[in-house]
Amino acid sequence: MIPQTKILFTVVAFLLMLTAGMKAYGEHNDQELDYEKWSKIAISSVQEKYPNAEVTDYKYVKREEVNEAESKDVFHLKVKEQEKIMIVNVDVVFNPINGKLITVKMEELEQQDF
């Protein structure tokens, strides 16, 4: 009887360890949701500033904590306006506590490898 108990215990322990790191289906990480939210704001801000341009690609660069009440996500967006291709740096500053947008800053960068 003891060997069966050991086997059962081993199997249960193995299954617990196996599933411990898994997320429930449909569950999202808060940072993933933030990333999606702020990337959409970055893209729409560039589209508003350059209404005749097309955003052809974008890259998430980093997240910085400015202070307790401010974080900044940095994006590089590749924009094509007529024959001109440019990279626009977009800083999306937001409050990480309440999730509210504070400001969006944009700056054209020198053409570089994207």
Strands 84-94 and 70-81: antiparallel
pTM of the model as a whole = 0.69
Q: Is residue 13 part of a domain?
A: no
Would you give per-residue pLDDT tens digits along the chain (114 residues)?
566 666 655 655 555 555 555 444 444 455 556 788 999 999 999 999 999 999 999 999 999 999 999 999 999 999 999 989 999 999 999 999 999 999 999 999 977 656
Say if 93 falls within a structural domain: yes
H helices, E strands: number in the chain: 2, 4
Asked whether residue 98 is assigned to any structural domain, the reply reads yes
Is 107 part of a structural domain of the chain?
yes
39 belongs to a structural domain: no
In a domain, 25, yes or no: no
Q: How many domains does the chain have?
A: 1
Find the domain containing 90 and state its range.
52-114
